[in-house]
Amino acid sequence: MLLQTIRLPACQNRQEQSFLIYRGDLECVTAPGNKQHKLKYHLQQALLEQKDYVATFGGPHSNHVAAFVARCVELGLKPLIVVRGETWATLTPTLSQAVRQGAVLFPSQRSDYRLGLNAEMKLAMDDFYQNNVYWVPEGGGGTFGVLGCLDWANDIYQQLDDDVHVCVASGTGTTAAGFAASRFRSLSVFSALKGAEDLVGVLNNHCRQADLSCQATVLDGYDESLHGGFGRVSDQLLDFLRVLKTLNPGIPLDPVYTSKMVFKVNQLVEQGLWLHKKTLFIHTGGLQGWQGLTNQQCPYDDYQCT
């Protein structure tokens, strides 16, 4: 059951508002949440171009890297990973798993990493592999990523009533752009990044490049609720997740995106500022991200480091 009811702490004694969550984390074992959708058309294009290698960028705990490697292996493609920062004698669980699956890692200085597809590391790898590499932008972004998420959003839309208000978290804006261009007409986008004041412009740019119209009618930022920055968690967020777990024991949330979005909506409900009668949260996966935190921080036993 991918559509589930979720109970918020702020709504325990209220009946006038209802909340659902679409469990994208349960859709696919190897590339859960938005990952398989962002990668779908990229990997189809790599096969169409008959490339032997597919490369991308990611951090040492990246959910994108884990999903990317798994999908490449399933399709018979050889994954290459440009890793942000240094690699260590003891790799992170995410990178260790990637290596076990056959990925080749290329540590990159952060200054070069930030250049993305213009990085010197990319040029060196293209030369080494004789231009037999298909490149996927960090996080599975770009037009192909947006189109994959558009398909995903429209598939979800067909399972729902027209009056639902959708909430989706955003990093690069790829997933949110797909939802903003979909058949949904009531949408809030929550940025997981600091300095994302121009997220409306980012979404419009993504949609324009994909020749789509953008229908994001509401934009809510995290502002004071960034919990220390991207990829970080606060004690306040962890306390909230422990309470949420008691109310919804079978619905784990990731530490970077969905949890902070639900936290913010719960705050708005408490303040009487959330006016939507029926809300749908999109769970974009990312539970593997708990491996980047300590077992004491993770409220979910199944996702603690072993």
Q: Dump pLDDT digits (tens) for 261-290.
A: 999 999 999 999 999 999 999 999 988 887
Q: Which residues are catalytic?
A: 62
Q: Are residues 147 and 109 in the same domain?
A: no
Q: Which of 96, 116, 139 is the last residue of a domain?
A: 139
Q: Which of 139, 163, 194 is the last residue of a domain?
A: 139
Query: Which pair of tokens denotes residue 108?
Result: 């990159």
Helix (H, G, I), strand (E, B) or coil at 270: helix
8-state DSSP, 106: E
Q: Which residue has the tokens 């398909």?
A: 151
Helix (H, G, I), strand (E, B) or coil at 196: coil
Q: How far apart are CA 157 and CA 179, in angstroms?
A: 10
Q: Are residues 82 and 180 in the same domain?
A: no
> Is pLDDT of 191 > 60?
yes
CATH number at residue 119: 3.40.50.1100
Q: Are residues 39 and 59 in the same domain?
A: yes
Q: Are residues 249 and 267 in the same domain?
A: yes
The angle formed by the CA atoms of residues 298, 301 and 305, to the nearest 5 degrees, is 65
CA Rg, the chain, in Å? 19
Q: Are residues 178 and 256 in the same domain?
A: yes
- By the 8 A CB rule, do 50 and 132 touch? no
Q: Are residues 66 and 177 in the same domain?
A: no
User: 3-state SS string over 88-105?
Assistant: CCCCCHHHHHHHHCCCEE
What's the N-to-C CA distance of the chain in angstroms?
A: 28
**Lowest-confidence segment of 56-60, 88-92, 100-104, 179-183 by average pLDDT:** 88-92
Q: Which of 106, 139, 172 is the last residue of a domain?
A: 139
**Lowest-confidence segment of 29-38, 185-194, 210-219 by average pLDDT:** 210-219
- Per-residue confidence at 220, pLDDT binned at 50, 70, 90? very low
Task: Provide the number of structural domains found in the chain.
Answer: 2
Q: How many residues does this entry show for the chain?
A: 306
Q: Which residue has the tokens 């970080």?
A: 232
- By the 8 A CB rule, do 142 and 42 touch? yes
Which domain, by its residues, includes 69?
35-139
Element (H, E) at 65: helix 63-75
